[in-house]
Structure 1
Amino acid sequence: MSLALILLLVIAFIVVATSKFKLHPFLTLLLASFIAAFAYGLPSADIAKTIASGFGGILGYIGLVIVLGTIIGVILEKSGAAITMADTVIRVLGKRFPTLTMSIIGYIVSIPVFCDSGYVILNSLKQSMANRMRVSSVAMSVALATGLYATHTFVPPTPGPIAAAGNLGLESSLGLVIFVGVFVAAIAALAGVLWANRFTNVEPDGEGAEQLKQQVEDFDKLKAEYGVLPSAGSAFAPIFVPILLICLGSIANFPSAPLGDGLLFDVLAFLGQPVNALLVGLFLALRLLKSDDKVQEFSERISQGIVIAAPILLITGAGGAFGAVLKAADIGTVLGESLSALGIGILMPFVVAAALKSAQGSSTVALVATSALVAPMLGDIGLASEMGRVLTVMAIGAGAMTVSHANDSFFWVVTQFSRMSVKQAYKAQTMATLVQGLTAITLIYLMSLVLL
């Protein structure tokens, strides 16, 4: 049996196991690692060692980043910082372009907060703005959802892009991944806004749609539940200071040494390492704790963050194990040469990620599994350079948003909270993610022509 056919069968196993039989992605990827190892004829004595080293290798660095980023996100969510972020964007942009404003709010909030949680938090704000500005709730819902989705799939420290970057050997280049991801995500979000504007005169047709008018009051009640909201500086600092430090650290490490090699370089090189930068962000987030017993509250937030991060860590580790098996089997050379002959280059990771995303629903699983799959092939398809790997992360991210439909939890969050029927949600939300994905991969392909 050819190497390519074995790989296709293993991918088919991942898709069927997660989508049809609802097997947890962690166990699915782990089983896929063993199946691939035996199918490719790896020495039986080395299989467990290869899988364990692949699992531990990716988590040895990326694991701490995922946990710290998740804890910061929980603190921002529970403290009302996400509401402050939204209010700040509204004050800056005004109410002239409601769908664009809503998208930008989602774009910012989803960097630290998972898109599902972000939508739930911001839903009443979205409906309040829709009612006050006399804009369709459907248009505002799609604008918010696509804004959230853009940074969720492209911008670290969101776990999916971080895991993909780790699988592709970009642990020390996260600043560049962030820089490129922010740009690509902005274009994807803009595409989502343009699609959302098609529905400015369309009202939701699902059950409970007539009750949406009440959510103006719901938003005021929501804000009141948080008590005194944090200031804009306190709300934005825990996420944007670490991102700035990571980017400055990457600049400091440029071969041309733009910041010299003295004390400034040493400080930025240290603080710019993602783990250290996110620790700084975590300390800044301490200002958002509200209870009298801040130590107890902080412990609770850490526990909540670990619970949220645990399945992501397991999936990421299993993806690393799968990648280690493929690397040990040297499948990258054979398939890479074949794919290189086809000349599809950067489009291949997009197609694989889109197939996995559409089949099993999870963007994070699509990012982790696809990055593990393509890592051994990068040299043979001309993407082994640092920028080639960064653009590969972006291409996988574009695929991981194509498309969100009924097997995706985010689809149901958007559908239920916006009171759209499933049919309407497919026309509005699912098609929006298709437009976003195709727009993003077109941009990434054009960037590859210029930068590679």
Structure 2
Amino acid sequence: MPMELIFIIGMAVLLILCVKVKANAFISLLATALVMGLLSGMSGADTVAAITGGFSGTVKSIGIVIIFGIMLGNYLDAAKGTNRMAFDAVRLVGQKRAGLAMAITGYLVSIPVFSDAAFVILTPLVKAIHKKTRISLAILAVSLSAGLLSTHVFVPPTPGPLAAAGLLGIDIGRAILYGAFGAFFMTLAGWIFAEIYFRNKPDSYYSFRDEEEHKKDEALSIEDDTDLPGTLASLLPLVVPILLILLNTTCGMMLPEDSPVMTVVSFVGDSNIALAIGAVLAIITLGKRLGGKVIIDVMDKTLKDAGPIVFITSAGGALGQVLKVSGAGDSLAQMVLNTGLPFILIPFVISGLLKVVQGSGTVAVTTAATLCAPIAASLGLDPILIFLASGAGARLCCHVNDSYFWVYTNCMGYDMKTGLKTLSISNVVMSLGGLAATFICSLWL
């Protein structure tokens, strides 16, 4: 059977299971790997060996990082460290530029905290700014979403980009640097679009599920930050791990491997250790506010939160190994060459289609990176371009099959129509901003 047909059948199986059957992404990815392996002519034993090998290899490379990354975010969430970042951002740029403040806040907060949870946490602040400044609620909410959703698909240790970096064999520090660059362009595009597009929209443009409830909705006072942790205590657990990882990457390019400095830096800058240090710093700086019971409860909650993400990501690794061993990946690369399309558009389109159809940005990024890794290997391309294009495509649309869409509409009180007119349309612009960043990077990579 032609490899191109096997690839099409595999994608059909994945989409049918995810969308029609509504099976868990973990089961869907494993089933797709099994089907594609068997159809490619691999024996049952070889297919199983490829699946288990790819699964275990992915767990080894990113499992611990995901767990400590989520733990760090949960501690910041529980101690209201994310609220402190938002307050400081508003004060930094001023209330009149609150849309920019929300974009900056989202950009920073979504690195350690899931975008869904972060939006819920920051909703009272958005409403408070809206009531005090009369800046359009859509400008504030969409700007915040631009920052949250950009780093969510681009910057490790967020699970999606972390998994993509692992699957593509990209150094985590390098992924953070280029991911931050891509997320900057994506956030900028979303914020500028919100400021221009929603600036003069009449009130009739927006509709709420319950107009009366919207009018009496309570909001947080933007002057009241007495119950929040300090700025340093909130930022330190987030900034230190990122700096350690980047230091490891930088020193690795400048120092010999046997250097005494490199010995220390390669240990503390290892992504597993760096994120563990971040989690410990969160306990040290915020632990007094939380108390012993909450600290332990957050640890337990982290394992429940991290489990599904580690499993789904590793199932993506299993699919990638099957593609590699079966030769389907090389065949896909040749098929891409024959289309004549710019190679950057291939992961962008695959990721975008998956995002539109099944809703999960993490699944879209992981799957696109898995499928397109052979393209980079076959054509001698820098895999960071696949990484960036996959992330950009994963923001192509946010609509009714995405949990964030419902978090956004419910927190803002919007009905579905207004959610589509505000959040969904802005995501298209954001995605193009991320794609522009990818093309810019391709000029020197």
TM-score > 0.5, shorter chain as reference: yes
The equivalent residue for 1:451 is 444
* SS of match in other structure, 1:42: coil
Where do residues 200-211 of structure 1 align in structure 2 (5 Å cutoff)?
200-202=199-201, 203=203, 204-211=206-213
Which range moves more in the overlay, 322-331 or 199-208?
A: 199-208
Q: Report percent identity of matched pairs.
A: 35
Query: Equivalents in 2 of 1:304, 1:58: separation in Å?
Result: 22
Contact 1:333–1:376 (CA under 8 A) maintained in structure 2: yes
Distance 1:54 1:84, change over 3 A: same
Q: Distance in 2 between matches of 1:73 and 1:154?
A: 17
Cα deviation code 1:245-265 (max 9, x no counterpart): 1001100000x42x9964433
Corresponding residue for residue 151 of structure 2: 151
Q: Deviations over 1:40-94 (max 9, x none)?
A: 1112222212111111100112000000000111111111101111111112111
1:383-431 Cα offsets, whole Å, 9 max, x none, are 2xxxx21121111000111111111010111112112222222121111
1:238 is the counterpart of 2:237:
yes
Give the superposition deviation at 1:304: 0.7
Q: 1:347 aligns with which of 337, 345, 348?
A: 345
Q: Does 1:279 align with 2:284?
A: no
Find the residue that maps to 2:130 and give its secondary structure.
helix
Within 5 Å, give how 1:40-439 maps onto structure 2. 40-170=40-170, 173-197=171-195, 198-202=197-201, 203=203, 204-215=206-217, 217-220=218-221, 228-254=227-253, 256-257=254-255, 262-286=259-283, 287-290=285-288, 293-294=291-292, 296-341=293-338, 342-383=340-381, 388-439=382-433
Partners of 1:334 and 1:76 in 2: how far apart? 45
Look up the equivalent residue of 2:357 and give its one-letter code: A
Q: Secondary structure at the match of 2:96?
A: coil
Q: CA deviation at 1:221?
A: 11
Contact 2:125 2:222 in 1 (8 A): no
Instruction: Check conservation: 1:345, 1:382, Cα contact below 8 A.
Output: no
Which whole-Å CA distance do the structure 2 matches of 1:76 and 1:249 have between them? 25
Residue deviations 1:179-206 (CA, integer Å, cap 9, x gap): 1111110111111112212113444312
Helix, strand or coil at the partner of 2:348: helix
Q: How big is the alpha-carbon RMSD for the aligned residues of Structure 1 and Structure 2?
A: 1.9
**CA-to-partner distance for each residue in 1:109-135, whole Å, 9 max, x for gaps?**
111110000100001100111111111
Letter in 2 for 1:40: S
Aligned residue type for 1:374: C
Which amino acid in 2 is paired with 1:331? A
**Which segments of 5 or more consecutive residues in structure 1 lack a partner in the other structure?**
none
Quick one: distance in 2 between partners of 1:191 and 1:366?
21
Q: 2:111 touches 2:155 (CA, 8 Å); kept in 1?
A: yes
- Structure 1 residue 446: deviation in Å? 3.0
Distance (whole Å) between structure 1 residues aligned to residue 378 and residue 439 of structure 2: 18
Matched residues, number: 439
**Mapped contact 1:135–1:201 kept (Cα < 8 A):** no
Unmatched segments (≥5 aa) in structure 2: none
> TM (normalized to structure 1)?
0.93
Contact in 2 for aligned 1:332/1:380 (Cα 8 Å): no
Q: Residue 314 of structure 2 aligns to which amino acid in structure 1?
A: G
- Measured in 2, the distance between the counterparts of 1:45 and 1:181 equals 38
Cα distance 1:168–1:136, how it changes in 2: closer, same or farther (>3 A)? same
